[in-house]
Structure 1
Amino acid sequence: MALLTGFFSLGNTTLADSLTLHSGWQFSKYGSNEWLPAVVPGTVHQDLIAQGKLPDPFYGMNEDEIQWVEDEDWLYRTSFTLTEEQLAHQEIFLVFEGLDTYADVSLNGACILKADNMFVGYRVPVKHFLRKGENKLLVSFRSPLREAMPQWETNGFIYPAANDHRAERVSIFTRKAPYSYGWDWGIRMVTCGIWRPVRLEFAGQAVIEDYFVCQESVTSSRAEVDNRLEINNLSNQIQEAQVKITCTYGQERSRMIEQAVSLQPGVNTVSLPLNIESPHLWMPNGWGEAALYDFHASVTIDGKTVACKQHQIGLRSIRVVQEKDSLGMSFYFEVNGIPMFAKGTNLIPSDALLPRVTRERYVCLLEDVQAAHMNMIRVWGGGVYEDDALYEEADKRGILVWQDFMFACTPYPHDPAFLKQVSEEAVYNIKRLRNHASLAMWCGNNEVSEGMKYWGWKKKYGTEIYQQLADGYDILFRRLLPEKVKELDPGRFYLESSPYEANWGRPNTWKNGDSHNWGIWYGQKPFESLDAEIPRFMSEFGFQSFPEMKTIHSFASPEDYNMESPVMNAHQKSSIGNFLIKKTMGLYYRVPEKFEDLVYLGLVLQGQGMRQGMEAHRRNRPYCMGSLIWQLNDSWPVVSWSAIDYYGNWKALHYQSRRAFAPVLVDAVREGDKLKYYVMSDVLKTKDIVLQIELTDFKGKVLRRHQVKGELPVNSSALFYEEDWNSAFAACDTTTSFIHMTLKGAHDRQVLSDEVYYPVRPKAQHLPQAKINCKIKKKNGACELTLKSDQLARDVFIEIPVQGVRFSDNFFDLLPGVSRKILITSGDGSPLEDVSVHIRQLSDISYTEN
């Protein structure tokens, strides 16, 4: 048995010959002798649902009805036919890219593999077990719950894995996606199955086991790369070979290097350095092209190419700057020598049933990230190391990836067997992901260090057990993982734990490294706290909302439309969730009576509140150099912190993220008795600009207008203008007026930013019942709306009953007399049929008295 060590997806490896084993599968509960059709890749839950043995887990209270599955053992079998010609190959490998999790694999009566880690792939030489004609393959999965019970029963204490939603918290003993055991936004669905592709690979005289394009030095004038290959000579004799590397960019002439090597039997390491003059640098989203070179490696023996492998490589330098300064310790990303403000989000797995996540879904999600002007995603440590497709799409779009190892929110064991599993997992995933231009850093875990310091574990467990936990922490996160990163991915930054800084509300918070701020949630603080609690880098902060009504329809009936109904509570995993949504809503809005209005206003609240934090972070650069919201997506239809719901619908938060992360943004904020106007820019060139400031009432009458000239700041934030607060709103009613800010190029008159500022909270405003005129036109399979109103319409929300549609804009303020065109397209590119359009605005809501 051997672990896969490099890329093995067909998109990155050219295979001489292979046979995909995805057809003819059957599955059975152990001991039942009832065999039913199965889909591979897949999970037992998907197969049970398809066969009518399980209800839809996401609907109603059905989560309770599926829990029995995790306690059973399951069998999967298939057969395949091989020809004499196929069997004549030098070697044949059986490749499993992912087995979830404890599995014995038998081939023609021989046990060829014992798997115990969901996060690795396996590649087993099987030629001697294969036959001409029919071959039988059986994968026997053991219950991950029962498999780990002996460890749980003999451990002597229960680990504080609070997100494991079962009394027997065995999740920490198993190298399996933690979120599948439950989370504070997640359904408990402890899966098993062949969750990633499986195939046979037919090899000739040699195979390239791994190809690492090590970027030793990259500048705008020269890139020095070392092409490091592991070549397995499958013969028992020395073979003379030619190893060739070609490097191509677009239509440019290829660069090539070739070397003669003597391949010893077994694995050989070969190094071929290559220099590229004046390289096209890979740039982050918003800064230029995410340029990718095609690197191709081949091995030729006796004039015949016997093995090849290729990668798309972005040439760039990424440095994480973590340095002591007079204020504490910095934390920021420098790309190609330029400090970058990280605008982004945290990614969780996109489905509770992982094989449902297709490349198309990754494409859609990364397009959404790019559209919101983000340049970074954090792959969070309670999920999975994502499929190659995610990183490939991030490469194409200039999205940096902060990659956690899969450890979150609890200490972990450190016995020899567990450490061996983690070591193999680290080797496998570092080698699999290290060629990606998007991969910016590795992080040992999510919040374990903070938990060790501040979550009361020492008091709970006592000194002796706490010391065991601390010893395990040191071994895993200060020794094993950083050593593997240093060995296999030299030059890539490793962070022991996120956050580096103590969490919200503690002494000296916000001065060092990255921070998680849960003050506006678990701390129940107002959004204004985000203006004061400024970290060096915000890697998590969030506030919840319900998804919109069409998503709620997918898991609930009208009789369930109450925030405290059993079904709604089953889809609200945070202990204070619904209470806190209403409590915070009451600070800024009058609380609605109807459930549908609560849902709408909750979306608005989440978007507006989180935007306040994003803008505060950008205003305060370079002290603060990153803002990653929690969280981007959902793994099922649920009440959560997400910006995009399970079906791909953008919540108000994602639209507000797009506005807050715009390349150029003008932002007004009250500071004491001053109204200050900041200009935030990620643009790398300056230009002359003009800021027009108009004090306007809700009917569109301009009460005051003036202009301020200046220069656009370069890749920074600057105070552009300030005025006395009382003077700014002199002789006007602050409950019926706002400031309209338009930032333009002084010469080309290009609009760089167009924003509004309201002097009072929405619940103090006297909003008009604006009549919105809406014209609808079908256009090339899309739907175009033209909206106009003579009065201000705040937080306009356009709804149509189709999941995953895209709006060119939504959750916006329709200014008086200003026409807005909104284009609506389907999520999958198919033509939109006739759909009903419903438009809400803030003044439509009926309220109870607070």
Structure 2
Amino acid sequence: MGLYAAALSALGQSPASQVLHLEKGWSFSEGGKDKWQEATVPGTVHQDLLRLKLLPDPFFGTNEQQVQWVEDKDWEYRTSFTLTQEQVDHSGALLEFKGLDTYADVYLNGALILKAENMFVGYEVPVKEVLRAGENRLNIYFYSPINKTLPQWDSNGFDYPADNDHHDKHTSVFTRKAPYHYGWDWGIRMVGCGVWRPIELKLFEVADIKDYYVRQLSISRDKAEISNELEVYSIEDTDTQAEVVFTCSLKGQEVMVNKVPVVLTPGKNLVKSDMTILNPSLWMPHGWGEATLYDFKTEVRKAGGQVIDQVSCRSGLRTVRVVNEEDKGGKSFYFEVNGIPLFAKGANYIPSDIILNNVKEEDYRRLFRNVKAANMNMIRIWGGGIYEEDYFYQLADENGILVWQDFMFACTSYPSDPAFLNLVEQEAHYNIRRLRNHASIAMWCGNNEIIEAIKYWGWDKKFSKEVHQGMFTGYNKLFRTLLPNKVKELDPDRFYLHSSPDSANWGRPESWGWGDSHYWGVWYGVQPFEVLDTRLPRFMSEFGFQAFPEMKVISTFAEPKDYALESDVMKAHQKSSTGNSIIRTYMDMYYHVPEKFEDFVYVGLVLQGQGMRHGMEAHRRNRPYCMGTLYWQLNDSWPVVSWSSVDYFGNWKALHYQAQRAFSPLLVNAIEEKGKLNFYLISDELNDRNNLTLESRMVDFSGKVLKKEVRKVNMKANSSTCVWEQDSASAATAQQRTDALLLLTLKDSKGKVLDKQTFYFEKPKALNLPETTVKQKVKYMDGACEVTLTSDMLAKDLFIEIPVQGAQFTDNFFDLLPGESKTIRITSPLLKKTDKTNIRVTHLRQTY
């Protein structure tokens, strides 16, 4: 397949073609040293050096500083492969490099065949005239990305404000390489190089498919109008009679076949064929139905029927419209899927590892299991990482998870000279064509926070007037002209947003009603979580709060002597300059601050989860004014103190459990506002639910029922409705506010519990939480264990901890109510019936 066909999985090689995967026999050496050792391809130089124990564990202690020398060196990779004369005699031969990181000269049999300079594109090189029967030698010389760009930095005249580039010279802006490799306010700096995606040699006859676009012209429940658009490159000197066969199937059954006779002329050929699919099964986002995928296959056949080349893809039939229009509240921002307004629930995603090739297919599957388990329907691929692997988008398609796709620019201005713009155009061309067939792609976004930064981050005072004005000029070239034009050209049916946020700024109240928002008054502004009830955006595309990972993660990078907030190791794993002190400040607002480090870590996890949940519920409660909440951030790229809800080893923090609760498809939510205690019913379902029962029981912390009220309620589809209100003054006495909780239970007409939530009148530090002992019974099995917990008194924010990384819990960080018996199932392939894994239970009162 061609340069832009990386996302298309062939159903099998045709007799006329053959693909060789060049993964074996690689070795590497520091540039000019001629000291060759075994290498892994695809892979990175850091991965190879770590495997050979030539680097210390960069995650442990303060070892990050000891691996920085790698970025200043050049590195060489080489291999050889053998071809038969029959293979060499193919009419066409293409060497495809699906990912080279980043600056590289590629030599094949003594010929310089490629000078690579962009991590984010695939390269396709015709090599017919260079191949030999017998041994073929392939050498790749990678240049230090730092040294390669120092001359640009020296000649620029000012240092770009790329403060997440943890180096005194910010060279990252000149390089089309994953920005987070250079460091971030949650990230380690590991600027490496390598063959990070596969290399393939394609041998073929007559023609090669370069691209297959399944364009959805019009989609409704009655019919889908599809345009199959194929780009084929013929290497023949004369015209070739051929036939293109387009096939559409659903679950193994043929839906439509179109056969198009064509004459392939030398060079590029474009073939189009329209299809009409009656009564299509639409692709629906998670929570709304099945994410139905159709299989589209194209074969190019010679006149005699021999298959020259073939390609296939899976795509879902759906409409996604971003409604971004001025209204009485400012400017709306929401997603409409198949004509229905969608409240977006999800998180911002960063690359899953600083060493990208450490991420395996099972890691991606686990990622999407976590996303679905938390009731999400969207993730944002943030602009400081990478355009993800094809398998990532395949899983998003299959699981009904919409993807907000940033281009890879974040938090700094960038060059806009012709050479740089040319690199970006190639990158956009490659990735738009690679990804546009995916049903999950909901929109394209030019960058993360750059226009906000140019306007509001003080750069006008840091730089001269000419330099600052040049940032606006360059911004317009890149994000208001080049990228939207490429989207319009190649993916015209999808929405493009030039920046996130595009207008709103958290420090300027007059802007909050305009489009999507990143609200950092919580955290950087040290504002209480309650401001999220009233400082409402139209769409929250970022907000967040940090927490340490749990102690079993901390123990992988620190020793007990390092267990202190201000130890060198803890500071090395806290990349936000004032992060640990901010956590303490917030903890003092809401909780008793423990003296013991381990307790501080636990309470910090609870703080993060409860605080962020408050914001998510506020956003959902205030629909349709606010129509989305994507918190920062879903995951980690190394073991670190961060805003993530799932840590580097796959352990759910309290935040992920609280997101699961806050994103429940049917949610009961109580809040005190404007002197009232209001009860809301929030639904993401597409059908009304009537004749429901909402029960409110006031229970003291010993289990005594103080008050009980029951209401008959209806729940409107896809909405938020206040169904019941009380005066706050009469809702609870002063003692009840500190010694009791409300247990809210929503049931259907048959008595089935649809949702159950607890509500506390005061902050945790003001509650008279009782001392209590949680009793536990454990049933051990291979691959799992079950823990049954009981307590005579309330055990608030109970945390079950086991020394197994990545174990999955059916629930955790929950309130164990007095007299309640709750069984939690913990699963991991590492659990053995005979091992009797230690299980530790902590609740909030124990940390006083």
TM-score (norm 1): 0.98
Does structure 1 retain, via aligned residues, the 8 Å contact 2:9–2:312?
Answer: no
Does structure 1 retain, via aligned residues, the 8 Å contact 2:58–2:67?
Answer: yes
Q: Which residue of 2 aligns with 1:192?
A: 193
User: 1:216-235 counterparts in 2 under 5 A?
Assistant: 216-235=217-236
Amino acid at match of 2:701: F
Q: 1:661 to 1:740 in 2, by over 3 A?
A: same
Which string of whole-angstrom CA distances, capped at 9 and with x for unpartnered residues, describes residues 172-197 of structure 1? 00000001001000000001000111
Which string of whole-angstrom CA distances, capped at 9 and with x for unpartnered residues, describes residues 704-743 of structure 1? 1111111111101000100111222148532110000000
Question: Could you tell me how far apart the structure 2 residues matched to 1:831 and 1:623 are?
Answer: 52
Between 1:824-833 and 1:273-282, the stretch displaced more is: 824-833
Q: Which residue of 1 aligns with 2:409?
A: 407
Amino acid at match of 1:792: L
Does structure 2 retain, via aligned residues, the 8 Å contact 1:412–1:472?
Answer: yes
Q: Which residue, out of 660, 663, 667, partners 2:662? A: 660
TM-aligned CA deviation for residue 504 of structure 1: 1.1
Q: 1:831 to 1:199 in 2, by over 3 A?
A: farther
Does structure 2 retain, via aligned residues, the 8 Å contact 1:330–1:513?
Answer: yes
Question: Could you tell me how far apart the structure 1 residues matched to 2:170 and 2:242 are?
Answer: 53
Q: Which residue of 1 aligns with 2:326?
A: 324
Does structure 1 retain, via aligned residues, the 8 Å contact 2:782–2:829?
Answer: no
Q: Which residue of 2 aligns with 1:838?
A: 840
Question: Could you tell me how far apart the structure 2 residues matched to 1:253 and 1:87 are?
Answer: 37
Q: Which residue of 1 aligns with 2:759?
A: 757
Does structure 2 retain, via aligned residues, the 8 Å contact 1:501–1:511?
Answer: no
TM-aligned CA deviation for residue 584 of structure 1: 0.3
Between 1:202-211 and 1:520-529, the stretch displaced more is: 202-211
Which string of whole-angstrom CA distances, capped at 9 and with x for unpartnered residues, describes residues 639-666 of structure 1? 0000000000000000000000000000
Q: Which residue of 2 aligns with 1:679?
A: 681
Does structure 1 retain, via aligned residues, the 8 Å contact 2:42–2:197?
Answer: yes
Amino acid at match of 2:189: R
Question: Could you tell me how far apart the structure 2 residues matched to 1:768 and 1:280 are?
Answer: 55
Q: 1:56 to 1:3 in 2, by over 3 A?
A: farther
Amino acid at match of 1:52: K
Question: Could you tell me how far apart the structure 1 residues matched to 2:685 and 2:27 are?
Answer: 56
SS in 2 for 1:196: coil
Q: Which residue of 2 aligns with 1:465?
A: 467
Question: Could you tell me how far apart the structure 2 residues matched to 1:519 and 1:100 are?
Answer: 37
Amino acid at match of 2:140: V
Question: Could you tell me how far apart the structure 1 residues matched to 2:11 and 2:426 are?
Answer: 22
Which string of whole-angstrom CA distances, capped at 9 and with x for unpartnered residues, describes residues 216-274 of structure 1? 11111111010000011121121111101111111544311111011111110110110
Q: Which residue of 1 aligns with 2:87?
A: 86
Between 1:127-136 and 1:589-598, the stretch displaced more is: 127-136
Which ranges of structure 1 fall in alignment gaps of 5 or more residues? none
Question: Could you tell me how far apart the structure 1 residues matched to 2:78 and 2:477 are?
Answer: 39
Amino acid at match of 1:448: I
User: 1:321-720 counterparts in 2 under 5 A?
Assistant: 321-688=323-690, 689-720=692-723
Question: Could you tell me how far apart the structure 2 residues matched to 1:628 and 1:497 are?
Answer: 16
Amino acid at match of 2:468: Y
Amino acid at match of 1:284: P
Does structure 1 retain, via aligned residues, the 8 Å contact 2:552–2:805?
Answer: yes
Question: Could you tell me how far apart the structure 1 residues matched to 2:470 and 2:2 are?
Answer: 30
Amino acid at match of 2:4: T
SS in 1 for 2:213: strand
Q: 1:501 to 1:249 in 2, by over 3 A?
A: same
SS in 1 for 2:656: helix
Which string of whole-angstrom CA distances, capped at 9 and with x for unpartnered residues, describes residues 75-118 of structure 1? 00111111122212221111111000000000000000000000
Question: Could you tell me how far apart the structure 2 residues matched to 1:280 and 1:491 are?
Answer: 20
Q: Does 1:56 align with 2:23?
A: no
Does structure 1 retain, via aligned residues, the 8 Å contact 2:2–2:208?
Answer: no
Does structure 2 retain, via aligned residues, the 8 Å contact 1:7–1:13?
Answer: no
TM-aligned CA deviation for residue 501 of structure 1: 2.7
Q: 1:12 to 1:667 in 2, by over 3 A?
A: farther
Question: Could you tell me how far apart the structure 1 residues matched to 2:835 and 2:105 are?
Answer: 49
Does structure 1 retain, via aligned residues, the 8 Å contact 2:654–2:813?
Answer: yes
Question: Could you tell me how far apart the structure 2 residues matched to 1:554 and 1:146 are?
Answer: 33
TM-aligned CA deviation for residue 373 of structure 1: 0.5
Which string of whole-angstrom CA distances, capped at 9 and with x for unpartnered residues, describes residues 369-421 of structure 1? 01100000000000000111110000000000000000000111011110110
Q: 1:474 to 1:62 in 2, by over 3 A?
A: same
Amino acid at match of 1:750: K
Q: Which residue of 2 aligns with 1:7?
A: 6
Does structure 1 retain, via aligned residues, the 8 Å contact 2:606–2:813?
Answer: yes
TM-aligned CA deviation for residue 631 of structure 1: 0.2
Which string of whole-angstrom CA distances, capped at 9 and with x for unpartnered residues, describes residues 7-41 of structure 1? 35657886742111111111001121111111111
Does structure 1 retain, via aligned residues, the 8 Å contact 2:248–2:255?
Answer: yes
Which string of whole-angstrom CA distances, capped at 9 and with x for unpartnered residues, describes residues 434-481 of structure 1? 000000000000000101111111222122111211111000000000
Amino acid at match of 1:424: Q
Amino acid at match of 1:378: R
Does structure 1 retain, via aligned residues, the 8 Å contact 2:9–2:311?
Answer: no
Question: Could you tell me how far apart the structure 1 residues matched to 2:180 and 2:70 are?
Answer: 17
Q: Does 1:735 align with 2:735?
A: no
SS in 2 for 1:616: helix
Amino acid at match of 1:540: E
Between 1:771-780 and 1:237-246, the stretch displaced more is: 771-780
Question: Could you tell me how far apart the structure 2 residues matched to 1:565 and 1:320 are?
Answer: 47
Does structure 2 retain, via aligned residues, the 8 Å contact 1:408–1:445?
Answer: yes
Q: Aligned residue pairs: how many? A: 844
Question: Could you tell me how far apart the structure 2 residues matched to 1:393 and 1:444 are?
Answer: 24
TM-aligned CA deviation for residue 505 of structure 1: 2.1
Between 1:803-812 and 1:831-840, the stretch displaced more is: 831-840
Q: 1:364 to 1:656 in 2, by over 3 A?
A: same
Q: Which residue of 1 aligns with 2:209?
A: 208
Question: Could you tell me how far apart the structure 2 residues matched to 1:612 and 1:731 are?
Answer: 23
Does structure 1 retain, via aligned residues, the 8 Å contact 2:547–2:642?
Answer: yes
Between 1:779-788 and 1:41-50, the stretch displaced more is: 779-788
Question: Could you tell me how far apart the structure 2 residues matched to 1:19 and 1:96 are?
Answer: 12
Does structure 1 retain, via aligned residues, the 8 Å contact 2:244–2:299?
Answer: yes
Q: Which residue of 1 aligns with 2:725?
A: 722
Q: 1:750 to 1:482 in 2, by over 3 A?
A: same
Does structure 2 retain, via aligned residues, the 8 Å contact 1:806–1:827?
Answer: no
Does structure 2 retain, via aligned residues, the 8 Å contact 1:12–1:311?
Answer: no
TM-aligned CA deviation for residue 550 of structure 1: 0.5
TM-score (norm 2): 0.98
Question: Could you tell me how far apart the structure 2 residues matched to 1:249 and 1:830 are?
Answer: 42
SS in 2 for 1:508: helix
TM-aligned CA deviation for residue 132 of structure 1: 0.9
Which ranges of structure 2 fall in alignment gaps of 5 or more residues? none
Does structure 2 retain, via aligned residues, the 8 Å contact 1:3–1:424?
Answer: no
Q: Which residue of 2 aligns with 1:26?
A: 27
Does structure 2 retain, via aligned residues, the 8 Å contact 1:807–1:825?
Answer: yes
Q: Does 1:787 align with 2:789?
A: yes
Question: Could you tell me how far apart the structure 1 residues matched to 2:495 and 2:314 are?
Answer: 21
Amino acid at match of 2:712: K
SS in 1 for 2:270: strand
Q: 1:89 to 1:433 in 2, by over 3 A?
A: same
Q: Which residue of 1 aligns with 2:810?
A: 808
Q: Does 1:74 align with 2:75?
A: yes
TM-aligned CA deviation for residue 830 of structure 1: 9.2
Amino acid at match of 1:733: Q
Question: Could you tell me how far apart the structure 2 residues matched to 1:673 and 1:487 are?
Answer: 54
Give the root-mean-square deviation of aligned CA atoms: 1.5
